[in-house]
Amino acid sequence: MSQSNKVFFFDTTLRDGEQSPGCTMHHDEKLRMAHTIADLGVDLLEAGFPIASDGDFHSVQSIAKAVKGPRITALARCKHEDIEAAAKAVAPAEKSRIHTFLSTSDLHLAAKLRITREQAIDQIAAMVALAKTYCEDIEFSPEDATRTDPDFLLKVCEVAIQAGATTLNLPDTVGYCLPSDYAEMFRNVLAKVPGIESVVLSAHCHDDLGLAVANSIAAIQAGVRQVECSVNGIGERAGNAALEEIAAILMVRKDKLDYTNSIVMEKLFPASQELSRYISFGAAPNKAIVGANAFAHASGIHQHGVLANPLTYEILTPASVGYHGQHIVLGKHSGKHAIQHRLKELGHDLNKEQIAAFYERFTNLADRKKDIYDQDILALLKPEAVAAN
Ligand code: KIV
Ligand code: ZN
């Protein structure tokens, strides 16, 4: 594996993300989102699953033609028809990749694929080799890697590398792993698989236990140099690791995580907002980095602190991730400092007595009304206070 300390971002918003409920996008929306994701600075963009439908094929092909910057990737099962469709769809791209996968856990082999381990090995060898005839850059994923017998996983990795895989992605398909388990799996593979130094290792985490981002970071610390993630963390079930969270962790905790990456941080918030317009839900308000409350301060103590020095309660500036909105939220928990500050922003510099009187009227209203807007504040100003300005 490369010794570089660059972490490659592989965005799967338009594949794993789009295949989850409420996230279907029209062709034009996918294309616009693909340009936005490319502008975010991701290294790889998984544009879809071409065999899934004519629409998906068409979207992947259009993205491959139009979107410059990231390597354009398409997903394929370990089947001839999938690989051929993926190869055709990504062919127009300046840089392309075929991402092929096959389940390797005994549970999936028996219940889903109804094949033996030996048959799985043969299929992986044959299909990775087939993909290689179309494209130099091949990613192989043993689906359900984290519930795969560890010794069998080593064999699977070895066979995939021998057949031509250039990236090995070991997904935590069902979001089952603890960070320590996930890191241990990668360390084992790095130590024992022949030829592993010539491929890039990749993490792909689902959030069923809320650990997708923690697991991705643990994987990086164990030697992984590609992380698969999505804008707002959309993806199957509870979602994938959130791109913006991984990027923010690498930025804020550079003291412990000395890696580089090419994400353009100020584009994170606008990208999240744009995705929310195309799909049927936005980021949860309390979601890290891009949620509406991620930089909001409602309590008087916090507001006072942040107005004195934002570092008291903010570990990264809202502007650094492209958020430029209001972050002092006025309500019944607010104190006089915050109210005076907002009144000043609205053009009303009240003296001490005026603030005291205003504060009383404000708290009376805030006890009755959940959300206080600027219009409410202006309406609360007495004529004499307005006249004083
Ligand atoms: O979660 C998963 O295992 C996947 C594979 C197709 C990589 O999405
Ligand atoms: Zn997945």
Under DSSP, is residue 278 helix (H, G, I), strand (E, B) or coil? helix
What is residue 72's DSSP assignment? E
How far CA 379 is from CA of 78, 344, 347, 386, in Å, comes to 65, 15, 14, 10
pLDDT per position as a tens digit, 328-351: 999 999 999 999 999 999 999 999
From the CB of 171, is ligand 1 less than 6 Å away? yes
**Of the residues 46, 51, 103, 141, which should be mutated to test ligand 1's pocket, given the most ligand atoms within 8 Å of the CB?**
141
DSSP string, 143-167: ETGGGS-HHHHHHHHHHHHHHT-SE
Once rounded to an integer, what is the mean pLDDT over residues 77-85? 98
User: What span, in angstroms and rounded, lies between the C-alpha atoms of 261 and 11?
Assistant: 13
Cα-to-centroid distance, 143 and ligand 1 (Å)? 6
pLDDT per position as a tens digit, 276-331: 999 999 999 999 999 999 999 999 999 999 999 999 999 999 999 999 987 899 99
The answer to whether 308 and 263 are in contact (CB under 8 A) is: no
Give the pLDDT score at 257: 98
The answer to whether 196 and 157 are in contact (CB under 8 A) is: yes
Once rounded to an integer, what is the mean pLDDT over residues 36-65? 98
Q: Nearest-CA neighbor of 289 among 358, 250, 242, 335?
A: 242
Cα-to-centroid distance, 156 and ligand 2 (Å)? 19
Residue 382 has pLDDT above 90, yes or no: no
Cα-to-centroid distance, 386 and ligand 1 (Å)? 61
For residue 252, what are its two tokens?
A: 């804020």
User: What span, in angstroms and rounded, lies between the C-alpha atoms of 36 and 243?
Assistant: 13
Cα-to-centroid distance, 19 and ligand 2 (Å)? 10
Pairing of strands 200-205, 44-48: unpaired
Instruction: Tell me which amino acid residue 74 is.
Output: A
User: pTM for the complete prediction?
Assistant: 0.95
In degrees and rounded to multiples of 5, residue 171 shows phi and psi of: -80, 145
Dihedral of the alpha carbons of 232, 206, 223, 255, in degrees to the nearest 10: 40
The domain locations on the chain are 8-278, 300-388
From the CB of 245, is ligand 1 less than 6 Å away? no
Once rounded to an integer, what is the mean pLDDT over residues 91-119? 98
Give the pLDDT score at 327: 84
For residue 137, what are its two tokens?
A: 């850059």
What is the pLDDT confidence band of residue 183, given thresholds at 50, 70 and 90? very high
Which atom of ligand 1 lies closest to the CA of 15? 8
From the CB of 143, is ligand 1 less than 6 Å away? yes
Which atom of ligand 1 lies closest to the CA of 75? 6
Chain Cα centroid distance, residue 67: 19
The answer to whether 251 and 265 are in contact (CB under 8 A) is: yes
Using only the alpha carbons of the chain, give its radius of gyration.
25
Q: Which residues in 172-209 are b (16+ Cβ under 10 Å) and which e?
A: bbbbbbebeebbebbebbbeebeebeebbbbbbbbbbe
How far CA 116 is from CA of 101, 284, 336, in Å, comes to 16, 42, 70
What is residue 253's DSSP assignment? T
Residue 50 has pLDDT above 70, yes or no: yes
User: What span, in angstroms and rounded, lies between the C-alpha atoms of 144 and 107?
Assistant: 9
Q: Nearest-CA neighbor of 343 among 312, 380, 306, 316?
A: 380
Once rounded to an integer, what is the mean pLDDT over residues 158-187? 98
From the CB of 16, is ligand 1 less than 6 Å away? yes
Cα-to-centroid distance, 173 and ligand 1 (Å)? 6
What is the pLDDT confidence band of residue 3, given thresholds at 50, 70 and 90? low
Residue 1 has pLDDT above 60, yes or no: no
Once rounded to an integer, what is the mean pLDDT over residues 28-54? 98
End-to-end CA distance of the chain: 67
What is the pLDDT confidence band of residue 386, given thresholds at 50, 70 and 90? low
Nearest protein CA to atom 8 of ligand 1, as residue: 16
Which atom of ligand 1 lies closest to the CA of 240? 1
Residue 383 has pLDDT above 70, yes or no: no
User: What span, in angstroms and rounded, lies between the C-alpha atoms of 220 and 238?
Assistant: 22
Nearest protein CA to atom 2 of ligand 1, as residue: 173
What is the pLDDT confidence band of residue 385, given thresholds at 50, 70 and 90? low
From the CB of 204, is ligand 1 less than 6 Å away? yes
Give the pLDDT score at 371: 87
User: What span, in angstroms and rounded, lies between the C-alpha atoms of 129 and 131?
Assistant: 5
Give the pLDDT score at 110: 98
Once rounded to an integer, what is the mean pLDDT over residues 267-273? 98
User: What span, in angstroms and rounded, lies between the C-alpha atoms of 284 and 174?
Assistant: 22
**Of the residues 14, 15, 16, which should be mutated to test ligand 1's pocket, given the most ligand atoms within 8 Å of the CB?**
16
Angle at 330 between CA 325 and CA 331, to 5 degrees: 140
Half-sphere exposure of 180 (CA within 13 A, CB side): 0
Which CATH architecture describes the domain 8-278? Alpha-Beta Barrel (3.20)
Percent of the chain that is helix, strand, coil (3-state, to 5): 50, 15, 35
Chain Cα centroid distance, residue 186: 21
From the CB of 101, is ligand 1 less than 6 Å away? yes
Cα-to-centroid distance, 103 and ligand 1 (Å)? 9
Cα-to-centroid distance, 102 and ligand 1 (Å)? 9
Which atom of ligand 1 lies closest to the CA of 144? 3
Give the pLDDT score at 384: 46
Nearest protein CA to atom 3 of ligand 1, as residue: 173
